[in-house]
Chain A
Amino acid sequence: MTDNLDNAIPTPACGGEDPGQIKDHFDLFHTDTYQDLFEYKRQFEGAHSRETVEEIAEWTKGWEYREKNFSREALTINPAKACQPLGALFVAAGFEDTLPYSHGSQGCVAYFRTHLTRNYKEPFQAVSSSMTEDAAVFGGLSNLKAGLENSYTLYKPKMIALCTTCMAEVIGDDLGAFITTSKNEGHIPEDLPVPYAHTPSFVGSHITGYDNMLRGILKTLTKDEKAETTNGKFNFNLGFDPYIGNIRELKRILSLFGVDYTILSDNSDTFDSPNTGEFKMYNGLTTLADTADSINAEGTVFFQKYTTPKTQEYVAKDWGQKTYNFRPFGIKGTDEFLMALSAITGKPIPLELQQERGRAVDALTDSQAWIHGKKVAMYGDPDHVLGLIQFLLEMGAEPTHIVVTNTNEDFEAEARELLTSSPYGQGGTVWGGKDLWHLRSLMFTEPVDLLIGNSYGKYLWRDTGTPLVRIGYPIFDRHHMHRYATFGYQGAINQFNWIVNTILDELDRKTIVPAKTDISFDLIR
């Protein structure tokens, strides 16, 4: 036990003769050999003195730095947003046998595939036009014709969902005309649906791309499909929601209700397919037939208002359909959704869900004391953040710094209204258009108890020592989070579990040093 007195990282007894003892980067570089090597290397680095680094590090934590940081106008540092095509490919992959296709330089699609793969630990298949300098000069038509023909022949999709990159947008490629030409020249069959969306990175963010592509797909597939009567079904769309557990939870709730539904972009299997020993290229679950028929539904329910504005407008205007927006996160959010669903469909709220509600409330009540009054910083997409604020308020936590890079005025107004509606939200401030380096200043000058966000938040966790609950996209450094629901009563329990147990973990860490801090190293909490 005495070895632990300083709470130093113990050096495992590795190396030597035993080939069973292998040190990887976690241990190897902490050994004296490597520590000496790093020290020796410093002489060539032209580095600043340790005192200077320490002094500047302290300066970055203060108010003066915060003001400087918030006065920048041209520079963005660690933004909490990605670009349009990521969202476009994400939504496209939820449809049956659909090949997501990015028209432009191939580097973009390599990045999109990598990013999605790293979050889900699942294959993500998408192609590009592989445009190079000649396309920059002459346009991308010949690349697109060849690209469509090759990908159709090789990968046999039922639909190719086409989005653009910056390059294609800046050179002004006309996708609609290009697709028609490709069909007329016989590169792909006339009847192959090729919905498209303009998705330059210099407009909006990944959620804008989601909206553009979803609308493109619906427009293409529902053309001439309007029937005299409705099909009695309801459409549901989750938006750019990284939790495939949410789609499955929604389907379970709808089955319990006995509601007939179509999920617009069901990518739950795309991002969580079974390992059977065979690789299946397409796993999108929304069939093209159901999508075509979605124009005849009774109504369409959206769970991400700020992710899908254009699609909602299109569904309301062009389809003449009633649209709904719900945010079934936490208890109240789920209550509102279930009551509305019951009212809309005329079906009672299933007993099983009522019991679940009771269990969720019970769990919240049991643990709320650990959360009450805790100040929370958070960042993410507008809809995602609103769901979190709502849930935190009903648990008695205090949302404090709310950073949304891909913001808009409507969202900010709604977020402020939500905050002022609760005594726990009075200290909350919404920072639209800001990034994670702004958040760093906020967290140093006005510290909080907890940070909620994606994996990029781990740098803020390191710098400020604020415990991080990973909720959002992407989560690269914790496994399997996407399988859980954050939606409905089950989702409330899951999120609550992550939050309260992070706080308890932190308490254990703070009380761990024997004879120094371990006075309240309690077994029972």
Chain B
Amino acid sequence: MTTVEDRKALIDEVLEAYPDKAKKLRAKHISVQEAEKADCGVKSNKKSVPGVMTTRGCAYAGAKGVVWGPVKDMIHISHGPVGCGYYSWSGRRNYYIGTTGVDTFGTMQFTSDFQERDIVFGGDKKLAKLIDELEDLFPLNQGTTIESECPVGLIGDDIEAVARAKAKETGKPVIPVRCEGFRGVSQSLGHHIANDTVRDWVLPKADDYRKLPEGFEPGPYDVNIIGDYNIGGDAWPSRLLLEEIGLRVISQFSGDGTFNEVVMTPLAKLNLIHCYRSMNYICRFMEEKYGIGWLEYNFFGPTQIAKSLRKIAAQFDETIQAKAEEVIAKYQPRMDAIAAKYRARLEGKKVMMMVGGLRPRHVVPAFTDLGMDVIGTGYEFGHGDDYKRTAEYVNEGTVIYDDISGYEFEEFAKELKPDLIAAGIKEKYVFQKMALPFRQMHSWDYSGPYHGYDGFEVFARDMDLAINNPTWGLIQAPWEQ
């Protein structure tokens, strides 16, 4: 049997454990990559099967936890009961520079802490009062977003009306984000909803809100970094490279971003998007409305970094292109040394991934740069266009799984015996109990950055320390060997 047939058989075998209806549903989401499959052959962005352990989050997680949360100088209100705000408090390592509680608020939790009476009588009055209290206690905040939790939508509160009234009173942006957790099938809809609030509530008012830097004049090389959430500082090495090739980054939307940067985005010449899934919507809008082009780039691993830098430079003149070549040439020897060192330890190791956003495809070449082989990958909440973009990154025979359940992931790992699994915190200890090396690919396992040349060094080191951790050799007791 070929690898492809072999793996197809494995999928069928694993699916046998489900009741018929669930089996039928899940079968559409798992496939093996073959040359002719430009979309990886899987269905995506459908409802998760009830009772099956999915790793997906909700719209609230996408809107507050991902897109708006890292805008550091605004206050993001978790509007509703205490839980959602509590669990998403400080969990995502969106690094920022600022004085927390004074001019930045990224690692704080603000909630209306709904009680039963708020469910019965509605929470709009409480919300209005809460915004007054925020203004009183945090005068340097640059605006507010209201992330609504499940009950707010169900009881029919009019948070938009509160937002309008309060924005008028305070003269600052107050943005209602209808991201109740029951909307959509995953956090993905939350990203979209958050993008739409930028389109509807921010950009039309941008000229009122904008604080242009003194002497600011739009330049030919102005770009935005879109959809880099600065996990472990990722956006900074990326910004460094873009500035090194002569571009001027005027906005980091949204990692270490400010509200002013958000409203400055339409001033740029080009939107550079890293996490396509979470922020393509606003890029498309800006293209349509302001004629600003956008370009997806990948700053994982030297091969893709060089490719992306050239692709970005090609949008500009020869000066930038020449500088891009200079920058690539400057870092290449160091990258070669890193790759040489770590290839010796990692060559031929097999990897299975399951992450959100962009990583199930974007990280593949970084592994390849280290001589490693990705044999399985998939998204928590990808869409058809993500899988189309994935096809170019993966080899024939790669197992592709959409919204993989805990059970499926464990079974595939048992059979395919990868040397490393790269997924999230909920999966980490399951696989470590199976004596499988693991790295968290949402939070970089509290390490990072992984983006850019500086990030690749850390990435290489971390894969080595996971796989070549000597404690794996201790799991079996000597008397059992």
Contacts and interface: CB of A to CB of B under 8 A. Distances in A.
A354 interface: no
B316 interface: no
A126 B56 CA distance: 13
B110 A107 contact: no
B115 A136 contact: no
Nearest to A115: B87
A114 B113 contact: no
Contacts of A149: 19, 22, 51
Contacts of B250: 44
Given A154-B17, A273-B433, 9 more contacts: A19-B342, A75-B133, A76-B112, A104-B150, A106-B56, A126-B53, A146-B50, A200-B116, A277-B433
A68 interface: yes
A75 B112 contact: yes
Contacts of A170: 119, 150-151, 154-155
Contact of B49 (A17, A146, A165): A146
A111 interface: yes
Nearest to A171: B154
Given A106-B48, A136-B182, A117 B87 contact: no
Contacts of A69: 137
Interface residues of B, number: 127
Given A41-B239, A72-B137, A105-B58, A28 B429 contact: no
B288 to A, nearest CB: 24
B161 interface: no
A132 interface: yes
A83 B82 contact: yes
Contacts of A68: 136-137
Interface string A118-139: 1001111111111111011000
Contact of B435 (A43, A118, A275): A275
Contact of A24 (B430, B432, B458): B458
B51 A101 contact: yes
A105 B410 CA distance: 24
A101 to B, nearest CB: 7
A83 B140 contact: no
Interface in A274-316: 275-280
7 contacts: A22-B457, A45-B258, A45-B260, A107-B59, A144-B50, A165-B150, A279-B431
B194 to A, nearest CB: 15
Given A78-B109, A202-B115, A463-B101, A150 B54 contact: no
A110 B103 CA distance: 31
A105 B182 contact: yes
Interface in A47-96: 47-48, 52-53, 56-57, 60, 65, 68-69, 72-79, 81-86
B261 interface: yes
Contact of B47 (A81, A82, A125, A132): A132
Interface string B63-100: 00000000001000000111110111111000101111
Q: Which size bracket describes the interface of A in this complex? A: 35 or more
B227 interface: no
Contact of B110 (A20, A37, A77, A151): A77
A74 B129 contact: yes
A279 B103 contact: no
Contacts of A117: 425-426, 428-429
Nearest to A124: B426
B119 A25 contact: no
Contacts of A47: 73, 98, 103, 258, 260
Interface string A19-38: 11011110011000110011
A174 B216 CA distance: 60
Interface of B: 17-19, 21-22, 47-61, 73, 80-84, 86-91, 95, 97-103, 107-116, 118-119, 126-127, 129-130, 133-134, 136-137, 139-140, 142, 149-151, 153-155, 181-185, 187, 210-211, 213, 216, 232-233, 236-237, 239-240, 243, 249-252, 256, 258-261, 264, 333-334, 337-338, 340-342, 405-407, 410, 425-426, 428-435, 447-449, 454, 457-458, 460-461, 475-476
A130 B403 CA distance: 13
B142 A82 contact: no
A155 B430 contact: no
Contact of B118 (A60, A147, A202): A202
B116 A114 contact: no
B174 to A, nearest CB: 14
A37 B239 contact: yes
B236 A29 contact: yes
A108 interface: yes
Contacts of B115: 202-203
B341 A19 contact: yes
Contact of A46 (B154, B259, B475): B259
A278 to B, nearest CB: 7
B83 A83 contact: yes
